[in-house]
A and B are shown apart, each in its own frame.
Chain A
């Protein structure tokens, strides 16, 4: 655009001779007003950041991945952070305080790359949204260059159009001697349970051949969700005994008659647990529940014993 304006100005000056002052004024005007003519080329930014970029060998440091939406509504993000494994060893990936509500691909390390993909329903529009962070340990002297590859951010416009994206390069210098020792990345003090959530039972002809399944998702603001476990049981009292099974949402239910209590356990990376329960949709009738029969038998036995004791007491008193 600027070049076109200059060409235009140049072609005019070829045709008509202006005074030097007039030319200078026009050039100043072009410089001042050109930004107004050009459409603001704001692009969303994905950038890495760390408290220090000079790291000593053996030291640990945290690298955070941020999204700056540059005034656009963004609702989906994916990408790959590539780090040099020769210089750095990944110790931990944190997604506890992320702007991503639902992970399509929960951040994980795959041969020197952290891959991630997720959405924020309703969109996110802010200058500094934390996507994830990772703790690295410096292992060898040199310049460790990070790359963000295959990154995409999509607009919250109902069509999933791709927003222009700029990626800022990031590197850390690993050396034997560093001017000041950097503090270790703070350990996440997580004493809080994951957020409460409502698991939902659903059925769809396109999934699990139309069988019932359960969906669940929650967040943990400190350490992040570690895993989920699930337990189906038709017993209320003896429901303690069946084992928890590691599960992912969606989970096809074993009890397709929906007569079971379903327990979903969310465990954060610090080990805090939140258990949510779904009541059976088609509860057992009283005579179908073996627990009721056990209770009846136990009560009947106790009554029988009581009767025996009372009888023997009366007999004893009569004899006396």
Chain B
């Protein structure tokens, strides 16, 4: 059945193109719409200062780091022709927090500490991108900061939004351990130099000798006498800390878990803002999690942050937006009736409610001044059966939370009020104390690879996956319901 009508051929051809294009853009759009991206910023700094400056006068300020290095900034008078008052923010930060996204020029090594300078106008908060006069920057470094760098080649560099550029008038004073340069631009600064000869590089060069570097220069012949030991001095240990800030629910309790164990709690203010700080940490990788409880005692989902902590630095994790809580008023709704989907988030937040069935429905509402939101979902849109709902919040399209926990309801032939849920985790709370923590983990770990007792088999059936044994799946369920 061959059809050679050219009109029909063109029709088929255009049809295929149209179908491809339609489905492709539909899928791309759906993916973009469905993906909830939770935003937060991580800032790591050793020291930070802000100052208001009268630009008609000269201004000098020093930023001191815990390891003894420092940074001076010197502004001449009338640095802005407008003579406006400005605010200076400057902070020092570890090398790795800058160079991850801003790679060093090839062949260069950087000092351990980088600096960031920014200026804003006090009048309207707008950022100042450059001055009319050059400001002088002085970088004081310690010997350990420049380990492996040829000191005499040290030069100040500035990140110009695409690459590191050397500041033209940069000079180094190796006797005073300082690099001086001037600039009219701001942003990130660092001091870079060439690689210095090092012990173990295979060649005996620089100041290497058989005694200082036998690997490269060979062993010294003969036996030398031993030297005497020197006295020790006192050292101050810099504080390693991390601060978390963001939004939860008004007057709600926020718990911070460090490596899954409760490390701190706080209460959010009336606008749902919170801040938590913990110190006494070591340098290394941590998994931090935060969750909150709403005014009805419902817990949010755990928001987890894998963070690499730099020893001696303060790490700021800002812009956290804890996902809303969610509940429904009926466990079963008569098809055609409304079901109330409600919970708590930040005040005046845009709440998107998703109802997942064969097709996903999205509804929108705004939380009130207490952060409480309510959405009446018309069940006539969905078929009979079990459906799932979840919500997420956003404020001004800037702060976006992740999705809440997912809860289910049934669309049937009658209305059944939802039993008020207990404040205890639905699963994994093996010792019935309304928490899922190390105690529950230890109980499960004890029974792992052991035949279960009759008593524990009943608990396993009720609180875990009920397969009559303890394995990774049970621990995964526990990790999901974890409260610390």
State in angstroms the CA–CA spacing of A198 and B453 once bound together: 29
Q: Measured between alpha carbons, how far is A150 from B420 in the docked complex, in Å?
A: 42
Verify B456–A206 contact, CB threshold 8 A.
Answer: yes
Are the C-beta atoms of B260 and A120 separated by less than 8 Å? yes
B9, A16: Cβ atoms closer than 8 Å: yes
Q: Would you call A122 an interface residue if the criterion is a C-beta within 8 Å of the partner chain's C-beta atoms?
A: yes
* Residues 1-50 of B at the A interface (beta carbon under 8 Å): 1-4, 8-9, 12-13, 16-17, 20-21, 23-24, 27-28
In the complex, the answer to whether A75 meets B476 with C-beta atoms within 8 Å is yes
- Bound Cα distance from A29 to B21, whole angstroms: 9
B259 with A101: CB separation less than 8 A: yes
B448 touches A206 (CB 8 A): no
Instruction: Tell me which residues across on chain A come within 8 A of B455, comparing CB atoms.
Output: 205-206
Contact yes or no, A160 B473, CB < 8 A: yes
Asked if B165 is an interface residue, CB under 8 A from chain A, the answer is no
- Cβ A75 vs Cβ B479 within 8 A: yes
- Chain B residue numbers with a CB within 8 Å of A123 are 302, 304, 479-480
- Contact stretch, chosen from B111-119, B138-146, B279-287, B351-359: B279-287
Q: What band does the interface of chain A fall in when counting residues whose beta carbon is under 8 Å from B?
A: 35 or more
Q: A76 to B475, Cβ gap below 8 A? A: yes
Inter-subunit contact A160/B476 (CB<8 Å): yes
Residue with the highest number of chain B CB atoms closer than 10 Å, among A75, A129, A152, A192: A75
Contact A198 B261 (CB under 8 A): yes
Contact of A37 (CB < 8 Å), options: B27, B285, B481: B27
Given contacts A12-B12, A29-B17, contact A37 B280 (CB under 8 A): no
| Interface of chain A residues 208 through 249 with chain B (CB within 8 A) | 213, 215-217, 219-222, 249
Instruction: Tell whether, in the assembled complex, residue A222 and residue B481 are in contact, meaning their CB atoms are under 8 Å apart.
Output: no
* Pairwise interchain contact A158-B439, C-beta atoms closer than 8 A: no
Contacts of A124 in B (CB 8 A): 287, 304, 306
Mask of A113-143 contacts with B, CB within 8 angstroms, 1/0: 0000101111111100110000000000000
Let me know if B285 and A158 touch, CB within 8 A: no
* B13 cross-chain contacts in A, Cβ below 8 A: 18, 22, 25-26
- The answer to whether residues A121 and B439 also contact, given A33-B24, A78-B472, A222-B282 and a CB cut-off of 8 A, is no
Partner of B479, one of A76, A183, A206, A250: A76
Give the residue name and chain of the B residue nearest to A202 (CB): B439
* Interface membership of chain A positions 7-20, coded 1 if the CB is closer than 8 angstroms to chain B and 0 otherwise: 00000100111110
Contact partners of B441 in chain A: CB under 8 A: 102, 119, 215, 217
**Is there contact, CB below 8 Å, between A15 and B446?**
no
Residues of the A chain whose Cβ atoms lie less than 8 Å from the Cβ of B257: 121-122
User: How many positions in chain B have a CB within 8 Å of any CB in the partner chain?
Assistant: 66
Q: Which of A30, A33, A104, A197 contacts B472 (CB 8 A)?
A: A104
A51 within 8 Å of B (CB atoms) = no
Are B304 and A76 closer than 8 Å at their CB atoms?
Answer: no
Minimum CB–CB distance from B325 to chain A (whole Å) comes to: 16
A16 near B8 (CB under 8 angstroms)? yes
The distance in angstroms between the C-alpha atoms of A158 and B406, with both chains bound, is: 10
**Contacting residues, chain A, for B302 (C-beta < 8 A):** 121-123
Given A15-B3, A76-B475, A155-B476; A122-B289 close (CB under 8 Å): yes
- A-chain residues with CB within 8 Å of residue B465 when the two chains form the complex: 159-160
A71-114 vs B, CB cutoff 8 Å, 1 = contact: the mask equals 00101101000000000000000001111011010000000000
Asked, given contacts A198-B261, A204-B443, A215-B442, whether A158 binds B481 with beta carbons under 8 Å apart, the answer is yes
Q: Which residues of A contact B280 (CB under 8 A)?
A: 196
Docked-complex contact B479 and A126, CB < 8 angstroms:
no
B163 within 8 A of A: no
User: What residues on B are CB-neighbors of A177 within 8 Å?
Assistant: none
Q: Is B385 an interface residue (CB 8 A)?
A: no
A156 CB–B CB distance under 8 Å: yes
- A172 interface residue, CB < 8 Å from B? no
**Knowing A202-B431, A206-B459 touch, does A156 contact B480 (C-beta < 8 A)?**
yes
Task: Kindly state the separation between the CA atoms of A194 and B284 in the bound complex, as whole angstroms.
Answer: 12
Q: Which of B264-317 contact A (CB under 8 A)?
A: 280-287, 289, 302-304, 306
Q: How far, in Å, is B190 (CB) from chain A's closest CB?
A: 24
Any B CB within 8 A of the CB of A154: yes
Give the CA-CA distance A73 to B453 in the complex, in Å. 33
Which one of A99, A197, A222 contacts B261 once the chains associate, using CB atoms below 8 Å? A197
Interface residues of A in 148-165 (CB under 8 A from B): 152, 154-160
The proximity string for B residues 441-484 relative to A, scoring 1 for CB distances below 8 Å and 0 otherwise, is 11101111000010110010000010000001111111111101
Nearest-CB residue, chain A, relative to B432: A204
Mark A residues whose CB is within 8 Å of B.
12, 15-19, 22, 25-26, 29-30, 33, 36-37, 73, 75-76, 78, 96-99, 101-102, 104, 117, 119-126, 129-130, 152, 154-160, 181, 183, 192, 195-198, 200, 202-207, 213, 215-217, 219-222, 249-250
Question: Please, could you name 20 A-B residue pairs with CB atoms under 8 Å apart, sorted by A?
Answer: A16-B3, A17-B2, A29-B17, A33-B23, A36-B23, A36-B27, A75-B476, A76-B472, A76-B473, A119-B441, A121-B479, A121-B482, A152-B472, A154-B476, A156-B476, A158-B427, A158-B477, A159-B465, A160-B474, A183-B200
**Interface of B with A (CB < 8 Å)?**
1-4, 8-9, 12-13, 16-17, 20-21, 23-24, 27-28, 200, 202, 257-261, 280-287, 289, 302-304, 306, 427, 430-431, 437-439, 441-443, 445-448, 453, 455-456, 459, 465, 472-482, 484
